[in-house]
Amino acid sequence: MSTATSEQPKFGPRQGQKPEGGHATQVLKTQRNDFWQKGPLLTLLGFGAFVVYVHLRAFMGMDYYAAPYLSPFYSPLVYANPEYYAGSPTFHALLGNLPAGALSFWEQMVAWMPLALPLSPAFFILIFPASFRGTCYYYRKAYYRSLVGSPAGCTVCPIAQGTYQGETKLLLIQNLHRYAMYGAVAFIFILAYDFWLALWMPMTEAGVPWSAGSGDPTSYQFGIGVGSIMMGLNVLFLGGYTFGCHSWRHMVGGRLNRFANGDESSTGITYAIWKASTWLNERHMPLAWISLFWVMFTDLYVWAACNGWITDYNTWSMATSGQ
């Protein structure tokens, strides 16, 4: 026998109550009359496009270095794999070429898979930024809304009709964010180093810019190209996103009850960093999207340059053509 209490709806007004605050009680219904679907739809499209692109590039495992630019998806390049075309300049890899036998060992390991899985450095690298972004407080809101409609928008009746339990049980994994943040900060410095290297063109013995298959470079020449600028902006945008992270902001100042002087006149370094982080934090959503797409464009640029689909305008080719 059901009781009066068990017949009450889980969401929305209870029997005998007037709807308050415009809450509808049927799935995805709302009393809002604006185009509330726009946000979740754009998120779905934008995030979906990025996820597809990132998988495509990671599975390619090649075309990630067009001198002097290393794709951010493949940074840091720990080992070079000379067997992959236009992928692996030995001089750019931290530990040189892959150890002998590593490739055949990998091939044996993945032999059971229906699709050949290349030994792509991106598989080992992307896990770090992916765990950081995937657990970001802003992205959680975005994909809870657009992927699972829980809820799809403010005052929109959610798809999930169970009892709200917050981020418990499986969703405790979201706590990974505060640890993933350390890795993300390290990546900013790694990418900044790549930007520095993107200002130094490796040159061959003949005094021309290095290209795949022309042996190890004999010198490096300072200059700048469109790719260098893209890589510099990539560091800027990713840095803006990372240093506006809620976990970072908490780490640098949020844990304190008060700063040095306890008010706005504080001049301590901690207060200054916290203020800067707060400024970025207030722009976290646009920075999340700009940095997401810019890192994709930077990789696309390197991929296109590797295949000669675009011309990279730079000071090195200008200097060589003037000789």
Positions touching ligand FES (CB under 6 A) are 136-138, 177, 245-247, 284
Name the minimum Å distance from CB 202 to ligand FES.
34
Which residue's entry shows tokens 């350390």?
A: 182
Residue 178 token pair: 């505060």
Question: Least distance from C-beta 243 to ligand FES, angstroms?
Answer: 9
Distance (Å, whole) CA 60 – CA 97: 19
Q: Is the CB of 68 or the CB of 239 nearer to ligand FES?
A: 239
Q: What share of the chain is helix, strand, coil (3-state, %, to 5)?
A: 50, 5, 45
Q: How far is the CB of 90 from ligand FES (least distance, A)?
A: 34
Which residue, 27 or 236, is less far from ligand FES as judged by CB?
236
- Min dist. Cβ of residue 247 to ligand FES (A): 5
First to last CA, the chain: 94
User: In the structure encoding, which two tokens stand for residue 264, read together?
Assistant: 């706005």
Minimal distance, residue 309 CB to ligand FES, in Å:
33
> What are the b/e assignments for 143-178, b being 16+ CB within 10 Å?
bbbbeebebbbeebbbeeeeeeeeeeeeeeeeeebe
Our CB check for ligand FES shows the closer of 23 and 178 to be 178
Closest CB to ligand FES among residues 145, 177: 177
Say how far apart CA 317 and CA 236 lie, in whole Å: 26
- Shortest Å, Cβ 135 to ligand FES: 8
Task: Give the pair of three-digit tokens for residue 251.
Answer: 């780490």
Nearer to ligand FES, 146 or 247 (CB): 247
Give the nearest distance from C-beta 166 to ligand FES in angstroms.
Answer: 17
In the beta sheet, which residues pair with residue 110?
none
Q: Rounded to whole angstroms, what are the CA distances from 180 to 124, 132, 194, 236, 248?
A: 15, 5, 21, 19, 11
Helix ranges (H only) for 198-312 are 226-242, 246-249, 269-281, 284-306
Is the Cβ of residue 95 or residue 176 nearer to ligand FES in the bound state?
176
CB 217 within 8 A of CB 202: yes
Strands (E) located in the chain: 65-66, 69-70, 200-203, 219-222
Smallest distance from ligand FES to CB 277, Å: 11
The DSSP result for 4-17, as a single string, is TTTTS-SSSPPTTP
What the block records as the tokens of 89 is 């300049």
Residue 236 or 310: the one with the smaller Cβ distance to ligand FES is: 236
Give the residue with the Cβ less far from ligand FES, 246 or 275.
246
